Amino acid sequence: MDASSAAGRGSETNTKTANKTRTPGRTGFLMMSPFSDKTTFVMYYEIVPILFVLPRKIKPLPPWLTWVRRAARIWAIPDMFRSAQQRQAKKLMRRAVLQAYLGMRKNHGGPFGAVVARNGEVIAKAHNMVLKTHDPTAHAEVVAIRRAASKLKRFDLSDCEIYSTCEPCPMCLAAIYWAGIRRVHYGCTRKDAEKIGFRDRRLYDLIKKRKSPAVQKIKFERWDCLKPFEEWTRKKDRVIY
């Protein structure tokens, strides 16, 4: 056999090998996927690479591994199409959920948690502490706002967002308004809270119908109470909030 024939056969073998390598098999498709730079897909490879690399020709997959393989694919699909902000919001909400578990299991209060964040960074986290502090206003959102304001040393939290495991009650919504927070992320609704015994929906309905709650209001001595107001208007170093 001459050198030219050997070289020809060698080049032919290399060509076949290259074509075989470029064949978009199951593993090749995943590695060349445009989503491969996403965090979820990187984690996906690290956690379950064996589910996609095992060749079927060597040995059939056992039924349990087949179902795990399918479940892993389904698990990765939702996060594939989420933006970076959506993934960050999901992480922050999970922190709030952990706070809800913590407070509930320690009997500090109901199953509610909240996180105040700024630019994706956790500023304060809290859970409901009504039972622990004997304070009916110690809802998770209120406690989180108090801690965030104390940490930042300012009452204006307009550059922050709050993540709550449940739709804020009217009191918490008012606290969020006074703090200047412009975006609220919440999980459960007031109807969900009502199903487990909390009466947030009742307060919302009273506000919607413009009816006063079951509290007797008595107005008197208005003129004496107006005097501090008048002095406040004359105060030069007053701060409006």
Question: How long a stretch of residues is the chain?
Answer: 241
Give me the pLDDT at residue 25, please.
39
- E strand intervals along the chain: 113-118, 121-127, 161-166, 184-188
Give the whole-angstrom CA distance, residue 160 versus residue 119: 7
Tell me which residue of 135, 180, 156 sits closest to 239, measured CA to CA.
Answer: 156
Give me the pLDDT at residue 53, please.
45
Backbone angles phi, psi at 161, to 5 degrees: -125, 155
Could you count the other beta carbons within 10 Å of the beta carbon of residue 188?
Answer: 16
Tell me which residue of 119, 113, 122, 120 sits closest to 141, measured CA to CA.
Answer: 113
Give me the pLDDT at residue 86, please.
84
Are 114 and 162 contacting, i.e. CB atoms less than 8 angstroms apart?
yes
CA–CA distances in Å: residue 225 to residues 88, 215, 218, 221, 230: 48, 21, 14, 7, 9
Give me the pLDDT at residue 64, please.
62
Tell me which residue of 121, 123, 98, 120 sits closest to 111, measured CA to CA.
Answer: 98
Please give the average pLDDT of every successive group of 10 residues along the chain, which has 241 residues: 50 48 38 35 36 48 62 57 81 94 94 96 97 96 98 96 94 94 92 87 76 71 89 89 80
The full DSSP string for 126-156 is EE--HHHHT-TT--HHHHHHHHHHHHHT-S-
Rg (CA), the chain: 30
What are the catalytic residues? 141
